[in-house]
């Protein structure tokens, strides 16, 4: 078995009575390959895409149009989710105010009424003042937010002439649209 040694003391990490001194030694061989590595290479910048550049610390930086696109897409997702959540919350509160005291009938399954199966029916229900219509509108906004994001990305890649990304984004967009349209037919 192991024995515990009570006389062992752990050294403190911060010891104020000690001083650290650093020394720099001169380089012995000045003809080494390190000097060649320190020189800037223009071929690295030439291999970068047109939309990127290198800063002083050799980090890739984005152009202002790419930064604006990222800002637009992030705000679209953020505010789309917040607005749709607020609409669902408002509809839920209104639904509970009007129907909160009713007993729940769990004995029979009731499918969604036909007015909520199409977006036009949801908008008509909201305009008529339906609480469930407001909840459904919030859910439609939540579903539409990433679809709009993919569509804006597709347009941005078309403008930037990034055709590989255009193809991939178009495939994603077409699969999203197919899944939505395929649900109705």
Q: Is 54 helix (H, G, I), strand (E, B) or coil?
A: strand
What gap in Å lies between CA 76 and CA 160, rounded to an integer? 20
What gap in Å lies between CA 66 and CA 180, rounded to an integer? 30
Q: Of the given ranges (13-17, 105-109, 139-143, 172-176), which has the lowest mean pLDDT?
A: 13-17
Mean predicted lDDT score pLDDT of the chain: 77
Q: Is 55 helix (H, G, I), strand (E, B) or coil?
A: coil
Q: Of the given ranges (47-56, 141-150, 173-182), which has the lowest mean pLDDT?
A: 47-56
Q: Where is 79: in which H helix or E strand? A: helix 64-99
Q: Of the given ranges (23-27, 59-63, 129-133), which has the lowest mean pLDDT?
A: 23-27
Tokens linked to 129: 């003042």
What gap in Å lies between CA 53 and CA 66, rounded to an integer? 12
Residues 6+ apart with CB under 8 A from 146: 77, 176
Higher pLDDT, 47 or 78: 78
pLDDT(43) > 60: no
pLDDT(42) > 90: no
pLDDT(29) > 70: no
Position 46 scores a pLDDT of 42
C-alpha distance from residue 51 to each of 162, 164, 170 (Å): 10, 15, 21
pLDDT(117) > 80: no
Position 37 scores a pLDDT of 60
Position 19 scores a pLDDT of 54
| Beta strand 52-54 pairing with 60-62 | antiparallel
155 closest CA partner among 169, 141, 136, 134: 169
Position 79 scores a pLDDT of 94
Contact 148, 80 (CB under 8 A): yes
If you average pLDDT over each of 30-44, 57-71, 110-124, 151-165, which comes out highest? 151-165
Position 81 scores a pLDDT of 94
pLDDT tens per residue across span 72-98: 888 999 999 999 999 999 999 998 998
């Amino acid at each position: 078995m192991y024995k515990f040694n009570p006389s062992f003391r752990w050294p403190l990490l911060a010891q104020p009575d000690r001083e650290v001194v650093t020394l720099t030694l001169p380089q012995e061989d000045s003809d080494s390959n390190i000097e060649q590595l320190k020189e800037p290479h223009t071929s690295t910048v030439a291999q970068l895409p047109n939309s990127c550049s290198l800063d002083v610390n050799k980090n890739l930086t984005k152009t202002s149009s790419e930064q604006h696109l990222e800002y637009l897409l992030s705000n679209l997702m953020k505010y789309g989710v917040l607005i749709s959540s607020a609409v669902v919350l408002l509809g839920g509160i209104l639904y509970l105010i009007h129907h909160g005291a009713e007993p729940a009938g769990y004995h029979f399954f009731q499918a969604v009424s036909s007015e909520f199966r199409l977006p036009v029916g949801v908008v008509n229900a909201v305009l008529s003042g339906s609480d469930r219509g407001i909840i459904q509108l919030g859910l439609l906004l939540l579903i539409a937010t990433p679809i709009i994001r993919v569509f804006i990305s597709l347009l941005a890649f078309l403008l930037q002439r990034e055709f590989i990304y255009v193809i991939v984004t178009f495939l994603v967009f077409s699969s999203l649209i197919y899944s939505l349209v395929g649900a109705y037919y």
